[in-house]
Amino acid sequence: YPLRYMVIMNHRVCSILATGTWMGGCVHAIILTSLTFQLTYCASNEVDYYFCDIPAVLPLACGDTSLAQRVGFTNVGLLSLICFFLILVSYTHIGISISKIRSAEGRQRAFSTCSAHITAILCAYGPVIIIYLQPNPSALLGAIIQILNNLVTP
């Protein structure tokens, strides 16, 4: 029940979750940025990519990029995948609860709301998971995904 959200989720818990998310994101960004800045670059300084991201910058480095690739794979790819699956488990439980609603109109309204949420989640997590979990990163595929993501996301 969206109108009861403020009763269910109190301000303190919401603040803790938001602060934890921001702090985790900052720590992750600092780690990946410092690993990237420690690399030596000898080739072109032009990033052939739509969006300057770690997978696009690492091929320009002359040194060993395996640590930065593993950290990016683990922290971005796997963490996003785990969060996505946890959300899907949550929506499975929600779907089971919705299927128990007696009125067809109520079920349809609830499924309509959930489908909009799942679409937004796919638009947010899909590109990240695809870009960071590629076994052999493709600059062209990454650029296409980023452009489509920017066009689809309002």
pTM confidence score: 0.64
| Mean pLDDT of the 66-95 span | 85
Q: Are 42 and 62 in contact (CB under 8 A)?
A: yes
The pLDDT of residue 130 is above 90: no
Report the mean per-residue pLDDT for the chain. Answer: 82
Q: Does residue 41 sit in helix, strand or coil?
A: strand
pLDDT, one tens digit per residue, over 8-56 is 778 888 899 899 989 988 998 899 889 888 888 886 777 766 666 777 7
Task: Compute the residue count for the chain.
Answer: 154
Q: What distance, in Å, lies between the first and last C-alpha atoms of the chain?
A: 25
**Percentage of the chain with pLDDT > 70?**
91
Take residue 32 and report the two structure tokens written for it.
């990946």
d(CA 113, CA 115): 6
Residue for token pair 């996505």: 84
Other beta carbons less than 10 A from residue 138's beta carbon: 12
